[in-house]
Amino acid sequence: MFIRRLMLVVTLLFSVSALAEQVNENPYRLMSYVAEQTFSRLAEVDRDAADSAQQIEDIVREQLMPHIDYRYASFVVLGKQIKKTTKPQRVEFTAAFKEYLVSTYTQALGQYKQQQVNIEPERSVEGKSKVGVKAQFVDGERPPIKLEFKFRKLKNKTPDSPDRWLAYDLIAEGVSLLSTKQSEMDSLIRANGIDGVIKLLQDKNFAANESKS
């Protein structure tokens, strides 16, 4: 009996692993998979619980962040200012920007009340390195929110590993999150320097964590 159960667990693990590899090879499938996993877990969160914000943050870290190219996004946000930074500063900024994204997505998903997400039909991505996947956030009480998730393909260094897609930008109603943040960061870096901006992000992240306590 123990052997049979062990074999079942191993089979399930390999099935999940194979599914993850399959969806990672196509941004449309990946988008559908992540949306299904994320929103099914969000629907189970007790919004009246004292730790509801922490539950949502856990979902963001476990379901969303593994599929987001936050390092690339942080470099895009730095823009031309990246030439004025050192490698340690870029590492520190990337870490702070990642936590900022976690906080941003946690707050956004905190507004979720079982609305419907419709994703456009799958299209061929052959020969492409960047793709935009369109979606609509449908709330019966309001007009649908038009979204577009930008993905880029990452080439794996080992021949045995397949290429995979990661999201790096979100465009809501025609407004790019990265473009908005790039303009904001450019002004902040000019005024405070990269170290000052890193400190600002870290303070924001700390305040967000404190609000969940």
pLDDT at residue 99, as a whole number: 95
Residue 159: the pLDDT is: 65
State the number of CA atoms in the 13 A half-sphere of 209 facing the CB.
11
Which pLDDT belongs to residue 23? 67
* Beta bridge partners of residue 171, listed in sequence order: 148, 176
pLDDT of residue 163: 80
Report mean pLDDT in 10-residue bins for the chain, 213 residues. 39 37 79 90 90 93 94 94 94 95 89 83 92 88 87 79 86 90 91 94 87 70
| pLDDT for the residue 2 | 38
> Structure pTM?
0.82
Amino acid at 128: K
The tokens for 182 are 């790039």
* Number of domains the chain is built from: 1
pLDDT at 19: 43
Q: Give the up-direction half-sphere exposure of residue 202: CA atoms within 13 A in the CB hemisphere.
A: 10
- Report pLDDT for 129: 94
Distances (CA, A) of 116 to 38, 43, 137: 12, 11, 6
Please give the pLDDT value at position 77: 93
**What distance in Å separates the CA atoms of residue 159 and residue 156, rounded to the nearest whole number?**
7
* CATH classification at residue 68: 3.10.450.710
Beta bridge partners of 149: 133, 170
Domain that holds residue 193: 2-211
Element (H, E) at 209: helix 177-211
